[in-house]
Amino acid sequence: MIYLDYAASAPISEEAMQVFHELNKEVYGNASSLHDAGGKAEHILNYCRRQLAALIHGHEDGIYFTSGGTESNILALQSVLNGLPADRRHFITTSVEHSSIRNLAALLQSQGWGVSIMQPDGNGRITPEILLSHIRENTGLVSIQHANSETGIIQDLQELSPLLKKRSILLHTDAVQTFGKIPVHADELGFDVLTVSSHKVYGPKGVGAVYIRPGVDWKPVYPGTTHEKGFRPGTVNVPGIGAFVTAAEAMVRQMTKLSEHFRKLRSHLFMEGHRLGIPLQPVVDETRVQVLPHIAGCYFLKAEGQYIMLECNRSGICISTGSACAVGQQNPSPSVKALGASDQEALHFIRISFGQHTTLQEVDSLLSTLHETVMNKL
């Protein structure tokens, strides 16, 4: 099997698997227990908190571990919204966020919150002008993804965050796709709240984290919770967290090298595809916007994306037609439509995403399958 859907999930690395195995065997106590076994688990947990904080250049007191990206998004936003003063009950987000945030926005609106949904410009960007046009006197929190999981478009948080800080408005960013792939620096990007996930960086599934800048007020979604300083109920998954942080450290160490590798794969995909006459068209113009190097969002102009995905699967190649968290929904992707595509055009979208072990030969195998599909079946 050739796996080219790393934006959906990545396999656990050998190093992370070894740590997971060792911690399950040796550090099995509850980190909240007062005996030595609990103290040993707490020591590992605190070490992981420090290490993860260092990777994002944040403060260890702001790290809270969760079960993954979706829970991180929901708990982070709801907890911070709970902590806002009564005169700050206006929430702003974008139309191209992860489904967990879009769903929460709809829930907030039904509960009487003021909610504004920003549409990006034709290049998929949230510009300062777009952001400023949605800000109100009672705006308390803005959520803007660091990069989109389908198109790979990176938002310029460094440009946007000062506009919010000047108005004492908090900024949350979903960095599930960017953490470990491009630099995520708390002070440089200017976020107050951050969410990340383990299985996107070759850690185990079922683990994630939230960063809330110390000094930001928040109130727990579940009052009375004692774990993770009241942020999340349930016994803390110390082995999973240890494996997550191990994997994340490895990804950050080789970030520059992998970025170069991904760019070569991406360039080869489009250049060789063009040479072979395969109707692959990038969804974004990279001269106008920054994109993640490991995500190649494309239109396959002669067939719907779902057909192409199934044909690839028949050949033992895994690609996708968008976010795995939106599978089963019949509507075209909001992220693709935001770029100006019609409903019909958006159905031609496919996403190819690379991993650290993806080779040029594997990309060539994909191109061969796509070429055969064009020549023999379309």
How does pLDDT run across 332-377, given as a tens digit for each residue? 889 999 999 999 989 999 999 999 999 999 999 999 999 999 888 7
In the predicted model, what is the mean pLDDT of the chain? 95
Mean pLDDT of 101-116: 96
Look up the pTM and report it.
0.95
Residue 4 phi/psi, 5-degree rounding, is: -130, 45
pLDDT tens for residues 112-157?
Answer: 999 999 999 999 999 999 999 999 999 999 999 999 999 999 999 9
Which run of H or E residues covers position 195? strand 193-197
Q: Which of 2, 5, 3 is nearest to 294 (CA)?
A: 5
Per-residue tokens: 226: 């004692």
Residue 169 CA: distances (Å) to CA of 91, 187, 230, 337: 10, 16, 24, 29
Same domain assignment for residues 185 and 195 = yes
pLDDT of 377: 74
The CATH number linked to 67 is 3.40.640.10
- Do residues 173 and 304 both lie within one domain? no
Query: What pLDDT was estimated at residue 329?
Result: 55
Q: Is 318 a catalytic residue?
A: no
DSSP 325: G
Last residue of a domain, one of 220, 253, 286: 253
Rounded Cα–Cα distance for residues 324 and 327 (Å): 5
- pLDDT over threshold 60, residue 10: yes
Question: Can you state the percent helix, strand and coil of the chain, rounding each to 5?
Answer: 45, 15, 40
* Residues in a beta bridge with 64: 210
* In contact, 232 and 75? CB cutoff 8 Å: yes
Q: Which residue, 225, 253, 281, sits at the end of a domain?
A: 253
192: which residues sit within 8 A by CB, 6+ positions away? Answer: 80, 170, 171, 172, 212, 213, 216
**Within this chain, do residues 287 and 268 fall inside the same structural domain, yes or no?**
yes
- Residue 267, phi then psi, degrees to nearest 5: -65, -40
Q: Answer whether residue 30 shows pLDDT above 60.
A: yes
Distances in Å between the Cα of 208 and the Cα atoms of 68, 130, 232, 323, 361 are 4, 30, 12, 18, 33
Looking at residue 375, its pLDDT comes to 87
3-state class (DSSP) for residue 199: helix
Contact 333, 322 (CB under 8 A): yes
Q: Alpha-carbon distance 36 to 362, whole Å? A: 49
pLDDT tops 60 at residue 284:
yes
73 with 193, same domain? Answer: yes
Q: Are residues 236 and 286 in the same domain?
A: no
Question: Residue 344: how many CB atoms within 10 A of its CB?
Answer: 9
Q: Characterize the bridge pairing of strands 170-174 and 139-143.
A: parallel
Identify the DSSP state of 3.
Answer: E
| Other Cβ atoms closer than 10 A to 329 | 11
Report the number of distinct structural domains present in the chain: 2
What letter does residue 293 receive in the DSSP assignment? T
Measured CA to CA, the distance from residue 290 to residue 252 in angstroms comes to 19
pLDDT (tens digit, 9 = 90+) per residue, 295-328?
A: 999 999 989 999 999 999 999 999 999 665 555 5
- Cα–Cα separations (whole angstroms), residue 157 to 51, 112, 145: 24, 28, 9
- pLDDT at residue 42 greater than cutoff 70: yes
- pLDDT value of position 323: 61
- Tell me, yes or no, whether 25 and 164 share the same domain: yes
243 and 275, same domain (yes or no): no
Give the DSSP letter of residue 331.
Answer: S
Residue length of the chain: 378
Which of 224, 253, 282 delimits the end of a domain? Answer: 253
What is the rounded distance in angstroms from the CA atom of residue 288 to the CA atom of residue 198?
Answer: 31
pLDDT-above-70 percentage for the chain: 98
Please check whether residues 76 and 144 belong to one and the same domain. Answer: yes
Structural domain of residue 175, as residue ranges? 14-253
Question: Residue 309 belongs to a domain with what CATH number?
Answer: 3.90.1150.10
Residues 39 and 156 reside in one and the same domain? yes
**From the centroid of its chain, how far is CA 203?**
14
- Pick from 10, 11, 7, 4: which is nearest to 365 by CA? 4
What average pLDDT does this structure show over 204-220? Answer: 98
Helix/strand/coil (H, E, C) string of 40-103?
HHHHHHHHHHHHHHHHCCCCHHHEEEECCHHHHHHHHHHHHHHHCCCCCCEEEEECCCCHHHHH
Q: Distance (Å, rounded) from C-alpha 119 to C-alpha 207?
A: 31
Query: Do 142 and 188 contact (CB within 8 A), yes or no?
Result: no
Rounded to an integer, what is the distance from CA 40 to the centroid of its chain?
31
For residues 288 and 231, membership in a common domain is answered with no
The verdict on 200 and 342 lying in the same domain is: no
Nearest CA to 169 out of 93, 62, 59 is that of: 93
Does residue 35 sit in the same domain as residue 94?
Answer: yes
